[in-house]
Amino acid sequence: MKPWQLSIAVLRGRVSHVEIMALRCCGYSVRIVFRAGSVQVLDYAPGQPLWPGLALLKTRLRRCGVRQARLLQPESHDEIIGRPKLLEADPGLWLALR
């Protein structure tokens, strides 16, 4: 999905929420969850689904009309250093983009 397509979907009220996935040593991936249940990935550049920086990503989402997004981290610090994983999934952190 391209940013201009996200803008149109937000204006029409089709977007349920936006998730930003922090990927270790890679960047950020953005998933758009629609009210109909489908999920699409926001492209950074043609053929590149990963965003290099969070500041640039937040600015782009704000320009598309997104007012908040959920920041998710699939691996916790504990898992990276070898401690056992959490019993419950991390609910994420809501970021206000205003």
pLDDT tens track for 51-98? 888 898 999 999 999 999 999 887 655 555 565 665 566 677 888 887
Report how far residue 8's alpha carbon sits from residue 95's, in angstroms, rounded to the nearest whole number: 21
Is-contact 32 9, C-beta < 8 A? Answer: yes
What does pTM read for this prediction? Answer: 0.79
Strand partners, 68: 96
Please write the tens of the pLDDT for every residue from 4-22.
999 999 999 999 999 999 8
